[in-house]
Amino acid sequence: MRFPARLFEPATDCELTAGLFLKGLALVYVAAFASLALQIDGLAGPEGILPFGDLLKRAMAQDGYAAVMRLPTIFWLGSGSLALQGAAAAGVALAILVLLGVGRPRWILAALYLLYLSLYHAGQIFTAFQWDYLLLESGLLAIFLAEAPTRLVILLYGWLLFRLRFLSGFFKLASGDPSWRDFSALQYYFETQPLPHAGAWYAHQLPVWVLKAGVGFTFFAELVVPFFICLPRPFRRFAAAVTILAQLLIIATSNHNFINLLTILLCLFLLDDGFFHRVLPARLRYGLPVPARTSASRPALIAATGLVAALIVALSLAGLWPASMRGPFGTAVAQFAELAPAFGIGNRFHLFPTMQTERQELRIEGSRDGVTWESYEFRYKPGALERRPPFVMPHQPRLDWMMWFLPPQWSSTGYWFEPFLQALRENRPPVTRLLARNPFQGQAPPRLLRVHVYRYRFTNAAERARSGNWWKADYLGEYPDVPPRRP
């Protein structure tokens, strides 16, 4: 019985590390909540693309009060614009309190988890991304860092990092995608990723052998290095160094919101207090919120930690159960695994398991008379050929990001697009504010809309020197008549 008991002992060599992680997590929370505060009304408000209140009404009519467990959110009390934006603003304020070390961190971290879980459900498809799951599970575990982080909590953070990294590599191979198997994926990735910035243009110009070597490094970092997490200290530090390097390279070439920052933070648990005592100046160490060792609530804390650990491990393993397995046991496992997305824990990670080999961009135009057409402009996704691809992380423009999925996945993820076009037809301010330019701002809405599809490719160095353009485009036709691009 000694081993299970040791799991609940304080991890005395990670107290400074836990304090540093909480500071970093608070910054990620600030970025995530602030980003949503700018968008949530247009995405899910009463006049948004997918009003969350409508979904709650349908869920209650279909499942009764069981819907509360399927959609755990504070917005059952009200899902108007003020409630949605107020929750995001409250998240920013509470995260700042954690950053400043004000208040009772455990309760504040619990409130942050509940607020982000609520907004995650409110955003529906716009917030159903793996970085949202990663933040939710990291945030839930952070509640148990506020007082005497135990060895079990540190192990759970290691399990989270292992799943994030190893499963991402595993599914790249398991998908059967030819570009990963022949090491050509990076010859397409920089050009076809959802929201490239200028660094992606420069990376796309690299020699083929460098790009192939980059795929090899990706496989090494995702399939081999994660196993170093459970080895002695030198191996863990090597794993941290390789993983952090991979994240910095991604930041230098991609806009992936806060996921790379959060992954770097998770690597802190591969280090220990001795490392940070050596590398951090004393004035910074003394400013970190080293968790207090208290025993007043220890039995309740142990029980809660054990319950959360059991759920995370069970759900993460259930999510790996083959979908093809039939029978009563397989059905029960699948039903249990549905709890994972409901509470944002134990999810299966699979970043870029397949690679798009062609980039298609949609251009939306409106007209009142069918003769004169004017274009809507998005804030961040590729549009004008001469516009420098912007660096926007850690902000995630959710609408711009979802536009990347069209047209190749229309049948599975495009159900939001027609409601979006309808919002443009009605000139709804919460939705049009998500755009860089609404040509009918302050005017009568358009009577007609049309959507054109273009194939976008990066220019090469000579073409950019000659034209000043970052992109070149070929017209493909009108959407949705254009066939989907090849995966």
Check whether residue 140 and residue 253 sit in a common domain: yes
Q: How large a percentage of the chain has pLDDT more than 70? A: 90
**Torsion over CA: 132, 199, 35, 194 (sign):** negative
pLDDT digits (tens, 9 = 90+) for 306-323: 888 888 888 888 777 655
Q: What is the pLDDT of residue 288?
A: 60
Give the span between the Cα atoms of 166 and 200, in whole angstroms.
Answer: 24
Kindly state the average pLDDT of the residues 158-186.
94
Of 275, 309, 343, the last residue of a domain is: 343
291, pLDDT greater than 60: no
Domain around 454: 359-478
DSSP assignments along 406-450, one per residue: TTTTHHHHGGGHHHHHHHHHTT-HHHHTTSSB-TTTTSPPPSEEE
Q: Quick one: pLDDT at residue 258?
A: 94
Which DSSP category does 267 fall into?
Answer: G
pLDDT at 367: 93
Statement to judge: residues 269 and 363 lie in one domain: no
* Local structure of 242: helix, strand or coil: helix
Asked if residue 348 belongs to a domain, the reply is: no
Q: Residue 296: which pLDDT band, with cuts at 50, 70 and 90?
A: very low
| pLDDT at site 315 | 84
Question: Which one has a higher pLDDT value, 403 or 482?
Answer: 403
Q: Of the ranges 31-45, 131-145, 469-483, which one carries the lowest mean pLDDT score?
A: 469-483
Q: Residue 164 and residue 166: Cα distance in Å, rounded?
A: 6
Q: Is the pLDDT of residue 486 over 60?
A: no
Q: What is the pLDDT of residues 340-387, one digit of tens each?
A: 778 888 888 888 888 989 999 999 999 998 899 999 999 999 999 999
Task: Indicate whether 435 belongs to any domain.
Answer: yes
How confident is the model at residue 301, as a pLDDT?
78
pLDDT at 105 over 60: yes
351 assigned to some structural domain: no
Place of tokens 């001795």: 274
Would the pLDDT of 177 be above 50?
yes
- Which candidate, 151, 154, 123, places its Cα nearest to that of 39? 123
Q: How much is the pLDDT for 483?
A: 47
pLDDT at 46: 96
Q: Are residues 128 and 267 in the same domain?
A: yes
pLDDT grade for 120, boundaries at 50, 70 and 90: very high
* More confident call, 84 vs 442: 84
Look at residue 317 in the predicted model and tell me its pLDDT.
Answer: 85
The answer on 172 and 23 residing in a single domain is yes
Omega before 10 within 30 of 0, i.e. cis:
no
Inside any domain, residue 353: no
- Residue 329 above 70 pLDDT? no
Q: What is the pLDDT of residue 352?
A: 84
Shared domain for 117 and 264, answered yes or no, is: yes
Residues 68 and 172 in one domain: yes
Q: Do 338 and 473 fall within a single domain?
A: no
Please say whether the beta carbons of 141 and 160 come within 8 A. Answer: yes
209 against 149, higher pLDDT? 209
Residue 455 lies in a domain: yes
Q: Is residue 99 located within the same domain as residue 208?
A: yes
Can you give the pTM of this predicted structure? 0.92
List, for residues 40-69, the tens digit of each pLDDT value: 999 999 999 999 999 999 999 998 888 898
Average pLDDT value over all residues in the chain: 89
Per DSSP, the chain holds a count of helices (H) and strands (E) of 25, 4
* Residue at 485 is within a domain: no
Domain end call among 343, 373, 400: 343
Residue 159: C-alpha distances to residues 4, 52, 164, 170, 460 (Å): 17, 33, 9, 16, 42
**For 88-101, how does the pLDDT look when each residue is reduced to its tens digit (9 = 90+)?**
999 999 999 999 98
Would the pLDDT of 272 be above 90? no
pLDDT above 80 (res 295): no
pLDDT at position 138 over 50: yes
Strand partners, 292: 147
Tens of pLDDT, residue by residue over 158-171, are: 999 999 999 999 99
Same domain, 265 and 173: yes
Instruction: Categorize the per-residue pLDDT at 286 as very low, low, confident or very high, splitting at 50, 70 and 90.
Output: low
Question: Which are the contacts of 428, defined by CB distance < 8 A and separation ≥ 6?
Answer: 47, 48
pLDDT at residue 198 above 70? yes
Of 325 and 334, which is predicted with more confidence?
A: 334
343, 368, 398 — which closes off a domain?
343
Are 170 and 302 within one domain?
A: yes
Quick: pLDDT tens for 230-263. 899 999 999 999 999 999 999 999 999 999 999 9
Confidence of residue 442 (pLDDT cuts 50, 70, 90): confident
Are 322 and 376 members of one domain? no
385 lies in a domain?
A: yes
Domain count of the fold of the chain: 2
Looking at the fold, whether 284 and 210 belong to one and the same domain comes out as: yes
The reply to whether 171 falls in a domain is yes
